[in-house]
A and B are shown apart, each in its own frame.
Chain A
């Protein structure tokens, strides 16, 4: 009952903010509404007792990625991205509809075929201990994620080096 009420509130927040994010004309407002969508998704993770994932969602997406968007918006002129309006064209609407239907069908088939709901009902409704998550992240046996973990850290290092290369001033000789 309580879960259902919370889910409905979160669903309204997520859908409403997502809709406003797409419909608003101001780019800064769009970023703010995106922030609320990300909060709503984090709330759903908390509802499912995935507290680690929820905390990561807030810290990486809400605190990090949105901040980066806002900085990027700030770096271009205040007038360039304001009040951009695009007319709806028939072909665009059809393409959008087609892609959404394909996505919906894919997700629905995967969900129904794999019986995730029945499996989820058998799992006890508890928080996963942090030690287990940490061991899985750097474990190299089955269901260990050390390879993607290391790969991502290497990738981020490359990104940082690239950013420094772009931002660096040339030495005056």
Chain B
């Protein structure tokens, strides 16, 4: 009969797979054999743990300040919602970079690394965490050489101009991943949007700001009563996995 093994097994696997996945399980020498029953066990699930919102896990204080300023321009505070900073987008990115995503633990990261075609996707040897570290360094150097102010010292209009020129590739940053300023901008924008719209347990979407902006009800999970009420607004507001409304 099988045992599911310690609860951390699959997470642990994901985290360690890029190293030596086979040896990571030296303690579990048996293949799991299941026969004669459904191998259901109580408490074997893996509920997500809400992030601790205090402090920075990945960013240095300087990097954190820059990212907070960036997400606050990508999603500015206005009458529609709070800005990206107050919505927790920088905390979200920090926690993602400190975890499995930042380490690229799911990805194929073996060489040789060659410059690919656009249809072949990202071919750099840097992880997302490495790309942030390198991108923020390069942005800092660029600003230092062009006016000397750091990103947070710029006015919001100047910040928007910098972001626009990163987006269009007008600013040439020297980046180790070979993706240029555009690649770095796209990465930050993608992660900011993830944070704004993901369940708040990951640190972003604070107060369900992203979901309220568009009218997404979150984890309601049952719309049988409403599917054929055509063109009628859905009456309930959003709810998160941990019950925040």
Asked if chains A and B come from one complex, the reply is: no
